[in-house]
Amino acid sequence: MRDPARSLADQIEDLLPQTQCTKCGYPACRPYAEAIAEGAANYNQCPPGGSEGIARLAALLGKPIIALNPVNGIERERPVAFIDEAACIGCTLCIQACPVDAIAGAAKQMHTVIPELCTGCDLCVAPCPVDCIAMIPITENKTGWQAWSADQADASRQRFHQRELRLRIEKEEQDARLAAKAAAKLKEVNDESALSAEELAEKNRKRAIIEAAIERARLQKAAQEQKKT
């Protein structure tokens, strides 16, 4: 039954397993929930939720129970990623791909998966250049919501949002460093004196490039601030 106090997208999102696997065709569980609410996506596109997940969504939406769309995958036992540590080259590509920060490691160092945090999303497998990641089923014939709990889904969603926040902060800090560097370079160019006509033309060209870079950084920061509000 729908809760009139909450948006339909919020209620749909609560019924998704929060594996953030993208198998539904959307970049995360929340965009998929919004697409269902808007009628842009069907409610049978989530393999990790499986048949029970479809039944839950159907009950909320007042629609019939239908089969999982095979285009999006199959319902299966929940797997956990396993890294062959002897083969790992420490490239960090799997760390960058993991949507819930379930992989520990650093550049040029061995990586390892934290099993209790892994959602079984498979997203770390494809980027690995040495094929040292395997997905190992761990739920003994239990699939969908039988292999996953509401508490696990809530914890996964929280880690996903924490990661998104961390990445946004890191990008803002990087943009600020680049803007400061560009400003320092612009000051250096402006402080030059006794320039020939050729040198003056080159200085003006560099100033235009740097000013354009600073303006792009300013516009990006303004857009990010607008998204926050």
Report the domain count for the chain: 3
Beta-sheet strands, E only, within 45-143? 79-83, 103-104, 112-113, 133-137
CATH number at residue 52: 1.10.15.40
Q: Return the higher-pLDDT residue of 33 and 225.
A: 33
Domain-embedded: residue 131: yes
CATH of the domain at 85: 3.30.70.20
pLDDT reported for residue 192: 57
One domain, residues 81 and 66: no
For 206-229, letters b (16+ CB in 10 Å) and e give eeeebeebbeebeeeeeeeeeeee
- Please give the single-letter amino acid code of residue 134: A
Residue 1: predicted pLDDT: 60
Domain boundary among 148, 182, 204: 148
The contacts of residue 36 (CB under 8 Å, 6+ apart) are: 9, 12, 42, 43, 57, 61
Residue 158 belongs to some domain of the structure = no
Does any domain span residue 129? yes
Query: Is the domain of 61 the same as that of 95?
Result: no
What type of residue is 27? P
pLDDT at 225: 72
| Domain end among 91, 117, 148 | 148
Same domain, 44 and 67: yes
8 A C-beta contact, residue 146 and residue 55: no
- 124 band by pLDDT with thresholds 50, 70 and 90: very high
What's the rounded Cα separation, in Å, for the pair 173 and 165? 12
Give the contacts of 147 (CB within 8 A, at least 6 positions apart).
77, 78, 139
Same domain, 95 and 43: no
- What residue numbers bound the domain in which 184 lies? 169-228
Given a cut of 80, whether residue 36 has pLDDT beyond it is yes
DSSP H/E element including 55: helix 50-61
The whole-number average pLDDT for the span 140-147 is 94
Classify residue 191: in a domain, yes or no.
yes
**What pLDDT score does 223 carry?**
77
What's the confidence (pLDDT) of residue 91? 94
DSSP letter at 79 equals: E
Residue 176 falls within a domain, yes or no?
yes
151 to each of 23, 26, 76, 119, 157, how far by Cα in Å? Answer: 21, 23, 20, 12, 10
pLDDT at 188: 67
Q: State residue 195's pLDDT score.
A: 62
Q: Which residue, 72, 98, 119, sits at the end of a domain?
A: 72
Q: What is the mean pLDDT of the chain?
A: 90
Rounded-to-integer distance, Cα 203 and Cα 208, Å: 9
Q: What is the mean pLDDT of residues 18-47?
A: 97
